[in-house]
Amino acid sequence: MTDDAAPPASGALPSLDELLATARVVALPMVTRFRGVEVRDAMLLEGPEGWTEFSPFAEYDDEEASAWLAAAIDFGWSAPPPALRDRIPVNATVPAVDPDSVRTVLERFPGCRTAKVKVAGGDEPLSTDVARVRAVREALGPEGRIRIDANGGWNVDEAEHAIHALAPFDLEYVEQPCPSIDELAEIRRRTKYMGIPIAADESVRRVSDPLAVAEAGAADLLVIKAQPLGGIHRALRIIERAGLPVVVSSALDTSIGLAMGAHLAASVPGLDYDCGLGTASLLAADVTRAPLLPEDGSIAVRRVVPDPELLDRYAADEAHTDWWLERLGRAYAVLTSAS
């Protein structure tokens, strides 16, 4: 773990006992399957600055999860930077649904004029992606903005073919068309004449990656997520050093995690793109009765307090809770070894 991934802005870690004292684990159903997830697990913690979230995906190892814990501590135990705005414009997110379901999905994002559309999913042919993006364009009309997200699902040749097929729908940008930085640089070179920007998301996972992406000329913009990058303060340092425009996005967070992302987006000096922070609309349940759902195409920059009854209703079972508590301890050990 690098110096950038050292303990959070407050300078001192709370004790593990302090973290465990307020830890609550929830399992929230999704409206529709999203990137293989049907139930979103999260651990919530309460610090002196308010509630915060630790929710690395189950497949992430302890080293990677430790950055998510650093982010949770940063948001719960350190005051966020000064906010430059009090609302964040957000995009709608369209999972890999049937084209006939697109309008129903978009209705969950009132006022959003930008849509991120998932493509390159599983065994689906490109024709299905084309039909889905066409349905989004028809729903949004000519003034709506469409960005596509392949989650690194194409090789360079496949990406080039797909971008040509989807370009007629007037794409705002293409997010992570290929998995590696070298492949991103190559597809960006091949398609530069088309004027469609390339965004890096999955490549921005470790604190050194944004700089590598910028130095390789692999992307025109970065998709930044507060939790994987170790928190708001570290993400802002990365943004400054990378020198590229950014989109602040989420990782299927609860509204508490989305509040972290909103505070990051509020602190970014230039915010030229709608952010991917409207994803509470993908949850069939949340931990608060005042979720951070899009209103008139934006979400508020505010702290979120969970509702005790909802924490009980969606509490994970005992075995699952124990697994998360043990994971918290392992991630904490990684953080303490770096301090």
Residue 149 among known ligand-binding residues? yes
Residue 201 among known ligand-binding residues? yes
CA distance 286 to 278: 13
Is residue 282 packed enough to be buried (19+ CB in 10 Å), middle (13-18) or exposed (0-12)?
Answer: buried
Residue 175 among known ligand-binding residues? yes
Residue 225: what are its φ and ψ, rounded to 5°? -125, 130
Instruction: Give every CB contact of residue 232 below 8 A, 6+ residues apart in sequence.
Output: 9, 71, 74, 75, 80, 81, 226, 260, 263, 264, 267
Q: Give the DSSP H or E segment for 62.
A: helix 62-77
Residue 118 is among the residues annotated as catalytic for this protein = yes
CA distance 288 to 310: 7
The active-site residue, picked from 225, 233, 234, 327, is 225
Instruction: Give every CB contact of residue 210 below 8 A, 6+ residues apart in sequence.
Output: 200, 204, 222, 224, 238, 239, 241, 242, 244
The answer to whether the CB of 129 falls within 8 A of the CB of 97 is no
Strand order in the sheet with 145-149: 92-94, 114-118, 145-149, 171-175, 198-200, 221-225, 246-249
Q: Find residue 246's DSSP bridge partners.
A: 222
User: Which value, in Å, is the radius of gyration of the alpha carbons in the chain?
Assistant: 19
Residue 225 is among the residues annotated as catalytic for this protein = yes
The active-site residue, picked from 24, 40, 116, 118, is 118
Active site residues: 118, 225
- Binding positions are 149, 175, 201
- Binding positions for Mg(2+) are 149, 175, 201
